Structure 1
Amino acid sequence: MKLKFTHLFMAGAVCVIASAFVIDNIKPKTHRKFIDPANMNKAVKPGDDFFEYANGTWIKTHEIPAKQTRWGAFIILNQENTDRVLAILKDVSKTSSGLPKGSVKQRVGDLYASGMDTVAIEKIGYDPIKPDLERIGRIQTTDDVVAEAIYERSRGIASPLFSFGVSADSKHPNVNIAGFGQGGTTLADRDYYLKNDQRTVKIQNAYKQYIVNLFSLTGSNTNQAVKNADIIFGIETRLAKAQLSRTELRDPNKTYNKLSVIDFKKLTPHFNWVKLMVDMKAPGQDSVLVAEPDFFKTEDDLVGSVTINEWKIYLAWNVLKDNATELSSPFVRATFDFSSVVSGQKVQTPRTERISSSVDRNLPDLLGQLYVEKYFKPAAKTYMVNLVNNLKTVLGERIKRLDWMSPETKAHALKKLAAFSVKIGYADKWQVYEGLTINRNDYFGNLRRLDEWRYNYNVSQLGKPVDKKRFNMSPPTVNANYSPNKNEITFPAGILQYPFFDFDADDAINYGGIGAVIGHEMTHGFDDQGRQYDSDGSLHNWWTKDDADKFKKRADMVVKQYDAFTVNDTVHLNGKLTLGENLADLGGINIAYEAFKKTKQGHSNQKIDGFTPDQRFFLSFAQVWRSKQRPEFAAQRVLTDPHSPENYRAYAPLTNMDAWYTAFNVKPGDKLYKKPEDRIKIW
């Protein structure tokens, strides 16, 4: 689950139970309506549109704020989180200049203060990138083009041509290896270059105008800026044609290609990787992973066929667009003008919130320390540990009962489940950012130093064991994830907040919320991608062919179900792109429901606010996905987001659960009704 939102959790003093299956009192501990009928549209039958039934009045009566592209449960949490993070930053930045250099509060406070020093930022305009543009202007040969691309990447300046990083080798998950991937384009998906429908052409034109605007701000005349836009779009279109689609990228075996550095050099003659790996601060490597070899062959052909002058324009563009939001306001406005065409956002996010996000993104372990000290309580971590263990037990029981899987494959699945590691709240050991200097009067310099520090830290991991203790999200983040190479699930502190979790809520609310999230992440270990990794995190087939075929048959049913859904009433979802998340939603809600039924409330029929325990469970799940979004943003997500839209996430998995039909008396003739034999059951 990758939602890219942040939020903080504030918990009062509570008594944590020994087991999340048992509670002392069925009723909520407060009079708060965790399921508020005022948000529902009871004029709609649950079996006709469960999302509308659960959230309809809220959707009708709430508008999307101008600074947002969508509005709902997640974004509301995000806004609360932003407010709390801002409170921390504003308080710390008042005194950080007088604190010891290198201390947590000094670096956090001074980074925020430097970003808010708009007088200094406006005064210097685009001076910070002039040396980069001048250096590019001196390029004379093809070797210079390649050298500049490598220089920009290894200094944190820009990321032209391709992606590069150090991470675990998928087939040897305890070993770090250097890896290369496709890149070089700006628009969010290759289809934005290759399609010619009305919306796509509108985005293409806006993108070209964005290029014109940024070059004009650096002194190019309009005619030259327009020519630059055509050159850049042409190069990026050729790169896009060579890229794998997002659906193809979901195949971990297709993108696992280990090449010797010598063979990689032979594949791309214009790139002397033996020398370039030294320039990239990653010397001494025998082999590298190349996710898309054909892309690099095409890129090499481009390096030889595109003129030097055109490459200089392309490289200058990468510096411009990768740094525009860090420069003076004309550059920031030009960037927003373009992004608003794509997303539909009406007004720019306030600078305070943008800089707050920058601090969280750049110094997560420093800001995270201040956050958990104020907002995260150990009791929440204890509760989550118990809840995770209980859901692991339930998933294990469900695996044992599968009627489509052989005992041999079941044994491997149970071994993998038992090997799951769990990270909750925040890292056991904080990153200290050794050697990183933050200057209160140099925002651009701070970000450049941060970019270079991160790059240097990443490549420094070559030759070292994979750090499996590392926390991969900042503590305030409202998200959770599963890492196949580490076989681990992670729940940052930020997600432990209503509507996912509340100490005062009854179990139906928490199991329908955070319980379904936990089950979701566990199921990722067994979705169409995760199932290809073994218990130790290695990319290894542990399935019998017959079991794999049976799994695929069931997964294809999920693809078909979601392919039928549309966005903006015209564009169909890509069931293959969203398959992993859809499988995780289906597995997660089933696991959470079975775990809920083991609680005292799960055994009862006692109503709260007019709803039975089962109804509260399913309504809790549905209200987590309460959301409305701008049509532009919705259209973009169909191309780029592996998650289905929230309205479908709220009910599509439930149509495959017998218990949901019983809870809401869903019958033949209802629009969402599926015959029992058509209901999809996997995990």
Structure 2
Amino acid sequence: MNRPNISSRLMATAALGAMLLGAVPALAKDKAAPATSASAKPQIGDFGFDLTGMDKTVQPGDDFYAYANGTWAKNTPIPADKSNYGMFTALADLSQKRTQEILEAAKADPNSMIGRAYASYLDSAAVEAKGLAPIQPWLAKIRSVDKAGLAALLAEADRNGVAHFFGGYVGQDDKNPDVYIYTIGQGGIGMPDRDFYLKDSERNTKLQAAYLKHLENVLTLAGEADAGTRAKAIYDFEKQIATVHWDKNDSSDATKVYNKMTIDELARTAPGFDWTTFIRGIGVKEDSLLVSQPSAFTGEAKLIADAPIGLIRDILTVRSLDSFSGVLPDAVAKEAFSFYGTALSGTPQMQERWKRAVDFTTNNLGEAVGQDYVAKYFPPETKAAMNVLVKNVLAALDTRIGNLTWMQPATKVRAKKKLANFTTKIGYPDRWKDYSKLEIRGDDLFGNALRANQFAHDDNIGRLGGPIRRWEWGMTPMEVNAYANFGMNEIVFPAAILQPPFFDPKADAAINYGGIGAVIGHEISHHFDDQGAKYDETGKLADWWTPEDVKAFEAAGKALVAQYDAYEVLPGEHLDGTFTLGENIGDLAGLTIAYDAYKKSLGGKPAPVIDGLTGDQRFFLGWAQVWRRNYREQNLAQRITTDPHSPSIQRTWVSRNLDPWYKAYSVKEGQKLYLAPKDRVRIW
């Protein structure tokens, strides 16, 4: 479920899917021991691809997604508790079910922290019996706060995990990546983006009405009178905040959001709020911090200063119930879901409680669960095979950099050095997080959530002044995703994504290179996309390209922006090619270098023909298969506004920029996806 918006500085990280990407029709039934014999067949089809999901009535050159996936798309319903459904969500379901089995076993052990956390969530009777009593002490603080005490209360809200007017975290200083620094970003709106308040459309008008009703309902649940009038005041205030927010493109620009200030400078930039009390209250002892959107803070500070204290209290009351909705009685959980799940994303039905219990436990104790998960479901052979693939894809990009015609020789040397400095993390951390200081009780769900938020906050703030934690992961082993971290100069692949259809040691090499190979390439190339390329071989935000390099790179980027701007995803609703540029570069470069790596893996020999398909045809089918996904309309519309990733159909279509795709499928001029050679975007 989406939470009220806290839009922070661009983190120097790019993921394969910022939102859960999204059934594999032919996944093998789960097995406790995933290792297979040398003669075993792939889990999907005869060679790793589901041929039954194709629609061969469609010409590949007209719609490659429909050709590869059309029958699957027609025959695959979206489950009632999903906003979209596809290959990623199928694996997420598998991961969730496996984790449930681990937690059910742990639940029987009173000494198991993960078992106690899981049990506390499953005990819905205890949650209902307590009602809102667990959160009332915090709500009482909100109801009694005055303007003089607001900064201190917001600092406490930060530690408690309650969203409010701005939010922050400790991460590497982009221009000094060997040092941690606190970064603060704009917030204060309950819908995911300023555009939901400011852009006129029939869809936004309906969402605004649904959100206003949500605000009223939450105030009513909190026991407040005259909830309708007070809800309207909250909405009007948030709309004012939206007008001073930076838009998503400026907020995603690593250069624009790097604004180092002292606390005194922030106070002069954004007068009217007690910044010293707030910053010190969250535990930051240093004087310097990064302010992502300075002008937004100027506007927000004035709005907060001018607002009646009663309005501020109402906002914090709503934020508190929304932030803790999952661990409060069903009436609160269902109300939050009715807006953030149904109205915003189109999901008709909440997940069953056991699924939410699994998610609660993994969200708060992910690496404690992860140790059991990888021991059972991630064999050493998979990690070894993945290492080989990563090395091959890295080598392919190294060769491509050497052959670039637009990059200057001195820049090529730096780019190759950056590539050579990569750290690759596969499966799970080498060093697990220590949760021993976190108290988890089997009969105290709300307390567990509160203490877990405080533990995470203190752990994050505790980075300040210490060495860079290069062993840390930003995802758990159970997540079906991957990411690139610019400051760490690393690429990371959790265990759960290293399964069919992405990767199967028994599948045809073409399918693996088109699937996980392109994912590897995607994450590697993020370090060279429109934002990642701003970071040098040490992870530092720096100008290391020549003006000629920048000019050539930006020209190619503009061509890709124009290509994606032209895609009309819903009637009258186009993609934002600028906002999605980094991910589109990742897809284009990732597929390109994965193709090179695949061809090199053949050792100069021709690929075999399998089921009438050439190696190149299978490679591109492997790419298309991982993007099988059906969306609910509301979810797709939300993604157009908030997700830097293009939808699955358009991600598949990136193949139209690769010459080998045209040869593989005899794509001709006049077909819908055809691009003249001069119009095919080539970057890396």
Question: Quick check: TM above 0.5?
Answer: yes
Match of 1:390 among 389, 392, 396: 392
* Match in the other structure for 2:422: 420
Match of 1:408 in 2: 410
Contact 2:589 2:683 in 1 (8 A): yes
Q: CA 1:75/1:13 → structure 2, altered by over 3 Å: closer, same or farther?
A: closer
- Any idea what SS the aligned residue of 2:184 has? strand
Q: 1:195 aligns with which of 187, 196, 199?
A: 199
Other-structure match for 1:675 = 676
Tell me the secondary structure at the aligned position of residue 305 of structure 2: helix
Among 118, 133, 156, the alignment partner of 1:112 is 118
User: What's the TM-score once normalised by structure 2's chain length?
Assistant: 0.94
Q: What is the CA–CA distance in structure 2 between the aligned matches of 1:418 and 1:169, rounded to whole Å?
A: 22
**SS class of match (2:60):** coil
CA contact (8 A) 2:49 2:501 kept: no
Q: Deviations over 1:294-339 (max 9, x none)?
A: 1111122112211122112122222122112210011111112112
Are 1:360 and 2:362 an aligned pair?
Answer: yes
Residue 677 of structure 1 and its aligned partner are, at CA, apart by: 1.6
Query: Hey, what's the Cα distance between the residues in 1 that align with 2:597 and 2:41?
Result: 18
Deviation at 1:411, TM superposition (A): 1.0
Shift of 1:11: 6.4
- Do the aligned partners of 2:47 and 2:508 also contact (CA within 8 Å) in 1? no
Shift of 1:553: 0.2
Distance 1:44 1:167 in 2: 48
Deviation at 1:608, TM superposition (A): 1.2
| Structure 2 CA distance for partners of 1:15 and 1:259, relative to 1, 3 Å | farther
Instruction: Establish whether residue 241 from structure 1 lines up as the match of residue 256 from structure 2.
Output: no
Aligned to 2:3: none
Say whether the 8 Å CA contact 2:627–2:651 is kept in structure 1: yes
| Residue 594, structure 1, aligned to residue 608, structure 2 | no
Q: Which amino acid aligns with 2:252?
A: R
Q: Alpha carbon RMSD of aligned pairs, Å? A: 1.9
Corresponding residue number in structure 2 for 1:208: 212
Counterpart amino acid of residue 636 in structure 2: A
**CA shift at 1:263, angstroms?**
1.4
Contact 2:511 2:622 in 1 (8 A): yes
Match of 1:225 in 2: 227
8 Å CA contact retained: 2:271, 2:302: no
Gap regions ≥5 residues in structure 2: 1-15, 23-29
In structure 2, give the amino acid aligned to 1:625: W
2:131 paired with 1:125: yes
Aligned to 2:324: 323
1:158 aligns with 2:162: yes
Equivalent residue number for residue 377 of structure 1: 379
Greater CA drift, 196-205 or 576-585: 196-205
Checking the alignment, whether the CA contact within 8 Å between 2:502 and 2:516 is kept in structure 1 is: yes
CA distance in 1, matches of 2:314, 2:670: 61
Moved more, 158-167 or 487-496: 158-167
**CA positional deviation for 1:267:** 2.3
Residue equivalent to 1:49: 63
**CA distance in 1 between partners of 2:294 and 2:630 (Å):** 40
Structure 1 CA distance for aligned equivalents of residues 243 and 45 of structure 2: 58
**Aligned partner of residue 477 in structure 1, secondary structure:** coil
Distance change in 2, residues 1:28/1:188 (3 Å): closer
1:186 paired to 2:190: yes
For 1:206, the aligned partner's letter is: A
Whole-angstrom CA distance in 2 between matches of 1:603 and 1:557: 35
The correspondence for 1:632, drawn from 631, 634, 641, is 634
| CA shift for structure 1 position 249 | 1.2
Please state how far the C-alpha of 1:412 moved relative to its aligned partner. 1.1
**What are the superposed Cα offsets for residues 585-641 of structure 1, whole Å, 9 maximum, x if unpaired?**
000001000110012388324211221111111001001101111111100000000
- Residues 28, 308 of structure 1: alpha-carbon distance in 2 compared, 3 angstrom cutoff: closer
Conserved 8 A contact 2:219-2:314: no
Measure the CA separation in 2 of the matches of 1:620 and 1:345.
29
C-alpha contact 1:416 1:534 (8 A) present in aligned 2: yes
Q: In the alignment, is the contact (CA less than 8 A) between 2:374 and 2:477 conserved in 1?
A: yes
CA shift at 1:146, angstroms? 2.4
For the pair 1:37 / 2:51, whether they are aligned, the reply is yes
Count of aligned residue pairs for this structure pair = 661
Match of 1:351 in 2: 353
Contact 1:9 1:493 in 2 (8 A): no
CA gap of 1:405–1:628, structure 2 versus 1, over 3 A, is: same
Matched, 1:654 2:659: no
Q: Which residue of 1 aligns with 2:17?
A: 2
**Aligned to 2:405, what secondary structure does the other structure show?**
coil
Deviation string 1:508-538 (CA, Å, 9 cap, x unpaired) is: 1110100000000011010000000001000
Residues in 2 aligned to 1:624 and 1:384: alpha-carbon distance in whole angstroms: 17
Tell me, in whole angstroms, the C-alpha distance in 1 between the residues paired with 2:604 and 2:319. Answer: 56
Counterpart for residue 469 of structure 2: 467
What is the aligned counterpart of 2:99 among 72, 85, 92? 85
Decide which moves more: 79-88 or 551-560. Answer: 79-88
In the TM superposition, 1:613-628 aligns within 5 A as 613-628=615-630
Q: Which amino acid aligns with 1:85?
A: T
Identity %: 40
Contact kept, 8 Å, 2:52 with 2:71, in 1: the verdict is yes
AA at the equivalent of 2:192: A
1:199-348 equivalence runs, <5 A? 199-221=203-225, 224-283=226-285, 285-339=286-340, 340-348=342-350
CA distance in 2 between counterparts of 1:6 and 1:558 reads 22
AA at the equivalent of 1:446: N
TM-score by length of structure 1 reads 0.94
User: Secondary structure of the residue that 1:486 maps to in structure 2?
Assistant: coil
| 1:56–1:601 CA distance, 2 compared to 1 (3 A) | farther
CA distance in 2, matches of 1:646, 1:6: 9
Distance (whole Å) between structure 2 residues aligned to residue 289 and residue 9 of structure 1: 48
Whether 1:138 aligns to 2:140 is no
Partner secondary structure for residue 259 of structure 1: strand
Separation in 2, partners of 1:348, 1:278: 39
Contact 2:44 2:50 in 1 (8 A): no
